[in-house]
Structure 1
Amino acid sequence: MNIVSTKIPDVLIMEPKLFGDERGFFYESFNQQQFDAAVGRRVEFVQDNHSRSAQGVLRGLHYQVHQPQGKLVRVVVGKVFDVAVDIRKNSPSFGQWVGAELSAENKRQLWVPEGFAHGFVVLSECAEFLYKTTDYYAPQNERCIAWDDPDLAINWKIDFAPQMSAKDRFGVRLIDAECL
């Protein structure tokens, strides 16, 4: 596995070693020892999630208070632009974001540690998005930061108004968010 650093040291892009020929391909999508070595600590995943979204759907920027989730995310169908925002109040990178294109083609994964808000927008006709989490989903602890917060100035790589849930349309600005 190739580990790619980002401008926020705790957020990592992981590129698997791909073995392919005319029959297809094989790659190891997760290896606990390699993952722990890459992030520098033991990480335990407790839940796997799978979502499917149409082109132009934007999900996020989601996070949980009291039960923050680390997420290892990847795309198995289609292409997304994926974003992690540091919401750790005492972090030197508080309020900064990292974005990466994840696709079925590039097979990249993004490690979004606890203490980050997370979201993505679908760039292809549809996308199937898989992610492992370090804590269970707790709706009472879920929060949402506005995808278009001017203080974050996220370049979502889109030139259209995204489709989103009511919850996501009413996300709060980072300055008003309950941060970790």
Structure 2
Amino acid sequence: MNEGSGARAGMLLVATPQLVDPNFADTVVLLLDVDEQGALGVVLNRPTPVAVSEVLAGWGDVVAEPEVLFQGGPVSTEGALAVGWLRDLDDVPVGFREVVDGLGVVDLDTPVELVDGSLSGMRIFAGYAGWGAEQLDGEIEEGSWYVVPAQAFDVFRDDPTDLWREVMRRQPGELAWHSTRPVDATLN
């Protein structure tokens, strides 16, 4: 990946109005892994109606409200990936791999009792978003994504409906103006 794009683990990709792919239109993606082979992340603002407890016994009591699976992306949708936020940076549970600032990936094969209590938030995603080498850089260069800093709270919002606008609103300068664009730009 090109460092010039700003895409690195722990950053957010926010879909621009140019991105019309239905898998990613109006999405906010948390990047979990970025290297020369490509990038991997999860879509933060696509909750499903499926309760976590229905598909992953024991984890329903650990995840943040709403206690549902989120659609993490179009790749491997039959698999699950969990993102957690450490309660204490000095108390890292077994099965936790930090991405940035106490935010990290939780191995769902870890017994729940070894993780429960050490996280201040956790969310489980069905599938993920993935890009091959240079693919994400190309999409950023063509104007499909804004690359902005993440805040751990972005991952664990009770209601992710307005996440796109909230993330854009807190950006510096002209980038914040995009938060007020109408959903249908032809109405402007």
TM-score, scaled relative to structure 1 = 0.27
- Structure number with the higher helix fraction is 2
- Structure number with the higher strand fraction is 1
TM-score, scaled relative to structure 2 = 0.26
